[in-house]
Amino acid sequence: MKSIIQNKTFLLFFLGNIISLIAFGFNTISISWLVLEQTGSEFQLGKIMAVATVPGLIIALLSGYLIDKLNRKWLLVFLDLFKMFVLVLFLIATYFFELKMYFIYTAVFLIGIGNALFWPTGQAFVQQIVNENDFFNANKLLSASYQIGSIFGAGLGGIIVHYFNPYSALFINIFAYLISSTLISYAPFKHNKNSSNEELSILSINKGIEYLKKRKDILVLTMTTILSDVAIWGSLSVLTISISTNIFDKGTWGYGILDSFYGAGALSSAFLIGYLTKEFQRQTVLKFFYFGAAIFLFLSANMPNIYLASLCFLFMGFNNNSARILIRTILMENIPNNIMGRVQTLLGIYTRVMVVTSSLLCGYLIENISIENAINFTCFHYILAMIGTYAVSKKWQRSVQYLN
């Protein structure tokens, strides 16, 4: 762990990533509240979350190639500045004109493009700048950066929206992206240009397809365990604010509390997961974590107050993120760096299709049936991830190398 912290390139990226994710938290709660203020519809919020995900599908065939071919550091810097520029234009538009839903759709779509490239680029960048023996610790720290960003982004964002307004939070959001891009730009990094004559082509994604065809164990493991991420980015992006508003009547303040406690639990996993994997097999803890995440989500909506619900979110965050760290480490251990971007792209396409479906279905269930059905639907994501882990451990002998 110490050697990674002493790696100046990783440290500056780590800090920049935290700031960028704080910005993302501010953005999410601000946009969510603007949509609910304008429409009062959870299904409309689900559509906004779906629109934020669609860009990843549109640029997917190109993004993997770009991540593998371009200087990843400067790509990260550019993407932060791009998102900042979009928000500046959005605030200018809302200052001079009355807010319209198509303003929000356009901004969310464009920022979605930036996020769709930023996150897989960051994952591939970390794999490139740390030693293979440090992958597990690097993933713990990378995960910690996501959770620190989530805690401060959602917590502070919720407070600012509650006491001021969403526009104030978006203004801070702009400066956060600027700080993030500056930190990453100072990270020492020498880009080694790939000497391959491979052309920029949609067909270049075939390298990722070929790998997953050969490694069906990795394919099945990722397609099922990714559903735990889908729960977070899809249905829970709609469900969390609905739990706060519909069940506990706490609005953005309650949303910030729930999301911050989730982030705190997830952050603790970065420090505790190493001890658990020394005592138990990976497959055992993965199944335990996915089942635990489902149980604590179910319990959260049945608590007498938002404070006890927040404790459930704390334990849900610990369970879900512990599993996430392990799965990300398994991918780094098994996927060659020169095709990581393209494999991530394929997995990203699948993830985004599922996120769109999950957020829309969750919004529909809340608005037209009941929030209880939406909670059960979200819990099912984690149950499927648990079943997938069990199936891979039984079906493929090769999985012994990374699940034991």
Per-residue confidence (pLDDT) for residue 62, from 0 to 100 = 72
Summarised one tens digit per residue, pLDDT across range 294-303 is 999 999 999 9
Per-residue confidence (pLDDT) for residue 255, from 0 to 100 = 82
Question: Which residues, 6 or more positions from 1, have their beta carbon under 8 angstroms from its beta carbon?
Answer: 137, 140, 141
C-alpha separations of 265 from 231, 261, 296, 303 in Å: 16, 6, 12, 18
Cα(102)–Cα(57) distance, rounded to whole angstroms?
20
* Span 158-165, average pLDDT: 83
* Span 381-401, average pLDDT: 92
Per-residue confidence (pLDDT) for residue 197, from 0 to 100 = 45
Cα(158)–Cα(166) distance, rounded to whole angstroms?
9
C-alpha separations of 343 from 63, 255, 305 in Å: 11, 34, 43
**Mean pLDDT value across the chain:** 86
Per-residue confidence (pLDDT) for residue 203, from 0 to 100 = 53
Among the listed ranges 18-27, 50-59, 344-353, which one has the minimum average pLDDT value? 50-59
**CB 37, CB 99: distance < 8 Å:** no
Per-residue confidence (pLDDT) for residue 285, from 0 to 100 = 92
Summarised one tens digit per residue, pLDDT across range 319-365 is 998 998 899 888 888 888 778 767 877 887 888 889 889 988 998 99
Per-residue confidence (pLDDT) for residue 1, from 0 to 100 = 62
Helices (H), 164-242: 166-185, 206-214, 216-230, 236-242
How many CB atoms lie under 10 A from the CB of residue 105?
A: 15
CA 19 to chain centre: 15
* Span 170-199, average pLDDT: 81
Angle at 121 between CA 382 and CA 136, to 5 degrees: 60
Per-residue confidence (pLDDT) for residue 181, from 0 to 100 = 94
pLDDT band at 61 (very low <50, low <70, confident <90, very high): low
Per-residue confidence (pLDDT) for residue 292, from 0 to 100 = 96
The terminus-to-terminus CA distance of the chain in angstroms comes to 22
pLDDT higher for 38 or 178? 178
pLDDT at 20 over 50: yes
Q: Enumerate domains of the chain plus CATH numbers.
A: 2-186+204-403 (1.20.1250.20)
pLDDT at 194 over 80: no
Which amino acid, one-letter code, is at 199? E
Per-residue confidence (pLDDT) for residue 60, from 0 to 100 = 66
What is the DSSP code (8-state) at residue 396? -
